[in-house]
């Protein structure tokens, strides 16, 4: 069952948080969004600041159950690491694949980031294809 069918995505209670995050993106989020929006990656629709349960992911492809997270300095603090571990376990428990990139990588090599995302989308899409009887 897809997360959108479970009633746990983009719940109304998280709307204000999502809106604030969308209106105040980091420079790296803005850069990556220019490359992900309008189905530019393998024809898949990505959404910004998408909430799943009580968590908000930077970018999410509903069709592929693929989250893309950008990590800056706040993600490396000790207290945040425990929160991120719980968050990751929750999302992975729902079958969501999470790709993480440091902001410096997005700034320095956006094409490598996009290629990693394309590979994940391709892999997830191929996994969803029906198998032929002679395979």
* 34 part of a folded domain: yes
Query: Does residue 135 lie in a domain region?
Result: no
pTM of the full predicted structure? 0.84
CATH, residue 73: 3.40.960.10
Query: Of 37, 93, 91, 44, whose CA–CA distance to 69 is shortest?
Result: 91
Its domain, for residue 114, covers: 25-122
Phi-psi region of 28 (alpha: psi -120 to 50; beta: other; left: phi over 0): alpha
Cα dihedral 97, 100, 13, 23, rounded to 10, equals -140
pLDDT for residue 5 is more than 70? no
Q: How many domains does the chain have?
A: 1
CA 65 to chain centre: 8
**Tens digit of pLDDT for each residue in 79-130?**
577 888 999 999 999 999 999 999 999 999 999 999 999 999 999 988 877 6
Enumerate residues 6+ apart whose C-beta is below 8 A from 114: 35, 41
The answer to the question of residue 47 being in a domain is yes
């Amino acid at each position: 069952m897809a997360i959108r069918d479970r009633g746990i995505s983009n719940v109304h209670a998280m709307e204000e948080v999502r809106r604030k995050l969308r209106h105040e993106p980091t420079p790296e989020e803005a850069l990556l969004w220019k490359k992900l929006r309008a189905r530019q990656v393998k024809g898949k629709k990505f959404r910004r600041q998408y909430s799943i349960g009580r968590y908000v992911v930077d970018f999410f492809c509903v069709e592929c159950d693929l989250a893309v997270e950008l990590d800056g300095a706040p993600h490396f603090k000790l207290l945040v690491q425990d929160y991120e571990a719980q968050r990751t376990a929750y999302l992975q428990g729902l079958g969501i694949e999470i790709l993480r990139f440091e902001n410096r990588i997005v700034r320095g090599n956006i094409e490598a980031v996009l290629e990693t995302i394309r590979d994940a989308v391709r892999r997830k899409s191929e996994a969803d294809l029906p198998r032929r009887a002679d395979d």
